[in-house]
Amino acid sequence: MRTVIKGPEPHRLGAYRHTAGATFDDYPDKPALRMSLVIEQRGLCCYCLQRVRPEIGAMKIEHWHSRAPGRYPAEQLDYSNLLGACMGNEGQPRDHQHCNTRKGERDFSRNPAHLMPRIEELIRFLGDGRIVSDHADFNAELNDVLNLNEAKLRNRRKAVLDAFKGTLAKRGNLKRATLLKWLQDWNGDSQVDNLREFCQVVVYWLQKRLARG
């Protein structure tokens, strides 16, 4: 996960929210809403950081606070509560489901769009591809609620990190300025288009290496 910087809500969503009897199910412009979410998340799932596209069957509109009847009715059309999530292995056995599909109507304590604290401050990536937190309750949610250590996700994160480390090894002893440039690249500081899948695992590794001096 990485922090999602929310942009302005789509104008039509704000107007619709204030109409009598407005519900998310009946909102008429979900294509534009999906596009808005994908753009501000720079093409990545809000939870696992796989690629998402603004199309039916290629992403889900995630309600961080569930829109199940009686749960958080005031937030079903609140843009700050909406995120773009991958399909999360929908239709597969529960052990293989992740992100929104696994979460369902359960609560997840940290909204990636909240800035205090930033979600990056609460997680670590291990060399085997696992994502963990030193906060026990949150660590349990990463595994049980979102299943972010599902085998394929874990292996893909590890593959991204191993490939990056292999590239660095071929270049020999790199200067700090070069590592900083790599960090800016993987963190998306130098462009505004889509980020690389699972970019945060490389960002985390580079930050640790730079911190060692």
Looking at the whole model, is its pTM more than 0.75? yes
For residue 40, give the H/E element and its range: helix 30-40
The angle formed by the CA atoms of residues 178, 184 and 185, to the nearest 5 degrees, is: 90
Domain limits, the chain: 11-211
CA distance 46 to 3: 8
| Distance separating alpha carbons of residues 42 and 145, to the nearest angstrom | 24
In tens digits, the chain (213 residues) has pLDDT values of: 999 999 999 999 999 999 999 999 999 999 999 999 999 999 999 999 999 999 999 999 999 999 998 899 999 999 999 999 999 999 999 999 999 999 999 999 999 999 989 999 999 999 999 999 999 999 999 999 999 999 999 999 999 999 999 998 888 778 999 999 999 999 999 777 899 999 999 999 999 999 987
For helices 199-211 and 151-170, give the axis angle rounded to 10 degrees: 50
Which pLDDT score, from 0 to 100, does residue 44 have?
98
Cβ atoms of residues 45 and 2 within 8 Å: no
Alpha carbon distance 62, 85 (integer Å): 6
DSSP labels for 133-184?
-SSHHHHHHHHHTS-TT-HHHHHHHHHHHHHHHHHHHHT-S--HHHHHHHHH
pLDDT at 169: 86
Instruction: Copy the structure tokens of residue 39.
Output: 């753009």
Q: Are strands 131-132 and 124-125 parallel, antiparallel or unpaired?
A: antiparallel
Q: Which residue has the tokens 């985390």?
A: 204
Instruction: Give the model's pLDDT for residue 173.
Output: 79
